[in-house]
Chains A and B, each alone.
Chain A
Amino acid sequence: MIRTYKVLTDAIEADPREVANLVTSETVDIRGAKRVSIILKRATHTAGSSTFVGYVGATDENGNSTGGIAYNKWITNTTNANTADVTRVGSVALSSTTVVEYSMSTEDTFGWLYLTCHTATDGKGSAWVIVDYANTKEI
């Protein structure tokens, strides 16, 4: 079963939701997810940029959080030669009107995920999380 969650809508510079120049998305429960992708979008671009970072963590049996950890293994949606490997990054800076996709490395497992967006100068940043729980088929 796949679910797609819009977690961040139109983050802008000087956004009233900002804390320390960052707009934080909703948190998505990714327990049991076999595959996680994120879709990042920048709109209304003139000259600035939107920079996204993903944070992962979990909540233990006592209800206490591990805290958010910046995730540095987002696999880029790029071609590679058969002599090359995938590319993994820790943040994504968009400086045009564009939509991009990144994947979490499949060896990882966490309880939850959220994203932050820093908008410089102009533009609107949005984000979605696609979660494949992979226990049922969908036709």
Chain B
Amino acid sequence: MVKCYKILDSVTATTSTGALSIKGVKRLVLVCKRADNAGGTSTFSATVSATDQNGNSVGNITYSKWISNATNTNAQGLTRVASYAIANADSTGFLTMDPDDAFESMIVTVTETADGTHSAWLICDYADTKEI
């Protein structure tokens, strides 16, 4: 089962989501959009976390293995980054979580430089049912 959640809805300042549950997600894509460009930058990043059996958080850890939507030659591998910046353009792109990883929650932050309207979505594949 795949769900697509809008997690930042046309915000116009630096904004963080609340803690978003990603328990059980097998594949995760973060879609990032910048609109109303007037020369600035929208930079999207995330922290990940989990809670132990005693109810204590492991803390918020900056996630640095986002796989970028980039081509590569056969002498190269995937590119992994900690953030996605859209500078001086109206554009939409995405980052993919490394499928090696599993976490319980995520906080996504957009950092605004100067201007712009910023949106983001999480596409979560829970991978337990088919959809046709």
Contacts and interface: CB of A to CB of B under 8 A. Distances in A.
Nearest to B2: A31
Interface in B116-132: 121, 123-125, 127, 129-132
Interface residues of B, number: 38
Contacts of A89: 71
Contacts, number: 107
B132 A111 contact: no
B6 interface: yes
A108 B132 contact: no
Please classify the interface of chain A as helix (H, G, I), strand (E, B), loop, or mixed, using the class held by over half of its residues: loop
B121 A32 contact: no
Contact of B4 (A71, A78, A107, A111): A111
Nearest to A135: B130
Q: Classify chain A: how many residues form its interface, as a range.
A: 35 or more
Interface of B: 1-6, 27-29, 31, 33, 67, 69-78, 92-94, 96-99, 121, 123-125, 127, 129-132
14 contacts: A1-B132, A57-B31, A58-B2, A58-B31, A58-B121, A73-B69, A73-B71, A88-B71, A88-B78, A106-B99, A108-B29, A111-B123, A135-B129, A135-B130
